[in-house]
């Protein structure tokens, strides 16, 4: 890989509680490229959250190494504060942690702790709110609790962005949102990636949800890395995905069935537009 920002080598993690132990991650080796969007996919309990919690040392490897932008996360001398500024984490249902009287106060919490001047904090708050589509002028002085669920979640995202992380880790970021809010959330995430060049690590159990954003998928099953590759390569392997307890996006499923019925749809066709082009051309050539 040309420029990896995250490298895990033979990472294993075992939870220990008294005499009980659980191998949550087993011998994971992977790299994530700077500026890319990686999705960690797997069913509940497959180890996704355990894996990403190693990225800002909420957890330490039982064995193996985790290097984040040149920092060895297991090193005793690690500057944990610097690491946590680099790796912004948005946990599930982040709106539960909103507490500010106003949206701006909430988003300012992180930058304030970075000991920036008040004008720098203000600039960061305004920039972060703009990135999530909640401009300061309109939303800054409102109570976060007067907003919709989707907007509250974007306030929480702005709070993480205001710390200027180079890696953004999102654990099941759209759980519990309605379809429109989910779409909005992904729209802003795509914009953020395009404009900020931030590396995104997305945890999800839903393949179709990440299909449009992720450049690379890592599929976990029972703590093991079972598959990795570009979404379009992974989606053609429906049988292996089902073995990992996962579904395939409906479009990929349909294309696989059409191929089995004899339509010559190339393996690298993965999006609706690509499928339309191929099928449209096929139907046109049949008419003539």
Site residues, ligand ADP (CB under 6 A): 15, 17, 22, 24, 42, 44-50
User: Rounded distance, CA 44 to CA 24, Å?
Assistant: 12
CB of 52 to ligand ADP, least distance (A): 8
Q: Which is nearer to ligand ADP, 106 or 221 (CB)?
A: 221
Shortest distance, CB of residue 82 to ligand ADP, whole angstroms? 25
State the nearest-atom distance from the C-beta of 16 to ligand ADP, in Å.
8
Q: Which is nearer to ligand ADP, 50 or 151 (CB)?
A: 50
Burial (Cβ within 10 Å: 0-12, 13-18, ≥19) of residue 38: buried
Measured from the CB atom, the residue of 19 and 44 that comes closer to ligand ADP is 44
CB-nearer residue toward ligand ADP: 24 or 169: 24
Give me the least distance between CB of 207 and ligand ADP, in Å please.
Answer: 14
Nearest-approach distance from CB 30 to ligand ADP, in angstroms: 15
Using the minimum distance from each CB to ligand ADP, give the nearer residue, 243 or 268: 243
């Amino acid at each position: 890989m040309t420029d990896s920002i995250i490298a895990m080598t033979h990472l294993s993690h075992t939870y220990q509680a008294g005499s009980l132990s659980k191998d949550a991650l087993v011998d994971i080796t992977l790299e994530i490229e700077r500026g890319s969007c990686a999705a960690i996919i797997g069913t509940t309990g497959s180890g996704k959250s355990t894996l990403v919690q190693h990225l800002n040392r909420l957890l330490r490897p039982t064995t193996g190494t985790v290097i984040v932008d040149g920092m060895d996360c297991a090193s005793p001398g690690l500057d944990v504060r610097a690491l946590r500024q680099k790796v912004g984490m948005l946990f599930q249902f982040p709106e539960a942690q909103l507490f500010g009287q106003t949206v701006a106060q909430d988003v300012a919490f992180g930058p304030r702790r970075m000991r920036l001047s008040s004008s720098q904090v203000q600039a960061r708050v305004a920039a972060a709110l703009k990135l999530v589509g909640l401009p300061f002028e309109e939303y800054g002085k409102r109570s976060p609790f007067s907003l919709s669920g989707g907007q509250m979640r974007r306030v929480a995202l702005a709070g993480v962005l205001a710390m200027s992380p180079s890696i953004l880790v999102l654990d099941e970021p759209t759980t519990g949102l309605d379809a429109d809010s989910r779409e909005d959330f992904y729209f802003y995430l795509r914009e953020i990636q395009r404009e900020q060049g931030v590396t995104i690590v997305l945890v999800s159990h839903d393949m179709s949800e990440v299909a449009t954003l992720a450049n690379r998928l890592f599929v976990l099953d029972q703590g093991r890395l079972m598959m990795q590759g570009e979404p379009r390569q992974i989606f053609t392997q429906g049988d292996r995905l089902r073995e990992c307890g996962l579904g395939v996006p409906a479009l990929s499923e349909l294309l696989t069935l059409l191929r089995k019925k004899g339509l010559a749809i190339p393996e690298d066709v993965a999006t609706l537009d690509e499928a339309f082009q191929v099928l449209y051309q096929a139907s046109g050539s049949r008419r003539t």
